[in-house]
Structure 1
């Protein structure tokens, strides 16, 4: 963390006041982008002051009363290993200075001090600090981005999109080309739990489940695990037999119940190969989970076979009709949805299948449509269990179709009168309020989309459509507005403003501030003060 305007902080240590004054006056600190933040006259007082000011660079006499320079350096580097120390020593202390270099000093200079030589040494130290900071930022960014990009890339492939992230395909090909099985883990009764939990409780429980799954994955050879939708996780494993799927599924259900007391179900895909099959793997794993609605909550549902509808009577599941219905829901086209339901009725009639088979096919289709509504953050006054009960009480195909048309048609009508748009505004409004309340934290898009009960991709689209900003643009604007308010209305030092508005690196904060306002924070404060 730098000083004013993100400058690196320097501390001077010498028991001679004249040398301290000379160092402060003779070195062009501003030109070197450095700031002297403290002075000490002994090793003991220097250590105490350093722990308060956290300097990046310490320039110290090697011989001082009490704690000597080398002992001080060891203590300072124990606190912060990348801190730089420049020693000043007398001619008679050459061996001592050489020991200091062996112990990790950046450099040393002999007395009497040549200020030009010292300036050059300090300039080299400043460049080293800049490289260190750049390396730290890069390392942090690579770690965070590699994880997020990996998850985002897999998510986008599952959703069927082909984004610029496709060029990162090499991340997964080596793992997925040899064959894999996908497991989709869903919390049972999640909509009800989501209504009961506060935001903090929800974050805690979902974090706990993810920890259980990640630990299991590492211990059992999983390829990766990540949250896909709220209350749902995707786990990729080397190809599994159906028996092995059963065993692993029971293991996961048991672990999650033991450590979180939450009930979940696990659906598996069949064997897949290649990253481009992720979407098919997800679809088949979720279809396996549909059987939960026949057997009750908390189950393990192996994949690899055909859907329930295809296993009897030789009827092929009407996937094309399903895709068109999902699209009609996305576009709130009620008339088209009703037409497609009529086509589905005709399709079933043409094959003259049994009532039980028709009921299963329509219920499987209803689950797909229900999940689409759920994904769009729709509040239902009815459940899938209630729909199944209505199916079971229907006596004819027409009655079955009437149940579907009544349930889904009514919601479409409500949506087109503005309910859906109001709902989107409410969700994005909630996200904006959360950003305004937590902008000073290391706020991630995953956290805010989780708050909104939307996938990251869906949240990004709705947020940009509603606000006109990307999530990062909006967060940055919010932070800079808060920083401007602090600079106008308080005497907080510039380098202290950065962490107050969510930036741990004051130098980066200054760059962002200047990019948006055209001024450094100090320039902005000076102009604001002058205008008052």
Structure 2
């Protein structure tokens, strides 16, 4: 999914364009809006933006100055200037910029939609594998690939015990044509591919090579890096910034997160494969590479299982807000859960059980905490199965105590659910099917906060998801786009409020998330075929 940011200091124009594009290619466009250049830059810091549709003349920072900062931050971003002025000087400056177009507001919505559609297609084409392969093929052919990769694999496994001192490491790096600096720390990225159909060995090797070339080509502008396939067939990058720091207000980790999202889109578009990346949140010294690499492998194991592209970030430190989210002692919670099961309080049992299970696959959970939670929970289920004499009903119960036998934590959690369901079915024949906790919570939040910011980026921040992943996950579970779901709730709520004749249309608009009554009226008529006032009058006729 591509992200479009609309920037204009005129609220009516911004809102009208936002509503138009929100319904234009909903499966591939996530639309955001800003009413000033400074607000637009704040969006750039929060999330990757693929297309910026901006007015040129704005108070404070104008569109040309904004574009210079946008392209410095995300060089792959495309910009479409939209202005009411046919000013030659502005147009001339705009055409000097890379990936920039120039439109007059008088050209109408159809022209604007067509141009953005062309830009989306250009981005798709730019992600095509062959263009990226051509850019990196010449460099790749010059490397002594076999010797270089064997050196890197041994470095991942043994660190400086294999490579030697800093001087020895630098000599090896120079010998194998690796541009990294032994005197500087490195970031480690681990990528794992999933395939729609099982490929042959030759096909897998070609896909792995192509994916590495795509990733390296995209990261080339801001970083020094080298990639290698580890002994398990996963892709590993060792990365250093080209400069001491990137542009003020940014960081290499944030840059890598956005860039890896772009690589995922390119791999899906060009190769038809899904890639999950695990990214170290902090750099490490060369001697610590094996430990960092092993942590990322464990993070993959804990999080992967649904084949959906996402970027995982490893926080190998105490998070700043961790004190606000202290876990209650696991043993106490399991004791409470056991009491609910024994007394037949199935709903309360599942509430505690799901809370523990969700912690195992939560984005911020540490691996150490996940292991402790899993084995405490598994041991309780195992003990209950034995105590209730359910050996015949759950013949493979011993798997509960062998976490290493599962391909990932999600599979292990799924088996915990199967064991819990068996116990509940034994206890009660009227078991309710377990609803997806995240989707249920998200739907409840949207319903209760219709008057607030419900953009995809905001919801992703609240639920600790990657925005693109949240969009795909919601549609996969609910069969409807998240934006369509929000619009339906807003229309339903608006109809309820309009029945109250004491409320003005502007008051109704504010309660369903529209600051402008004009924008709300256009949205309501688009969805129902009537203006809010016409809807009220139709109620009187009835």
Quick check: TM above 0.5?
A: no
**TM-score (norm: length of structure 2):** 0.34
- Higher RCO structure, 1 or 2 (CA under 8 Å, sep 6+): 1
Instruction: Compare the two structures and name the one with the higher helix fraction.
Output: 1
Q: Which has the larger radius of gyration?
A: 1
**TM-score (norm: length of structure 1):** 0.34
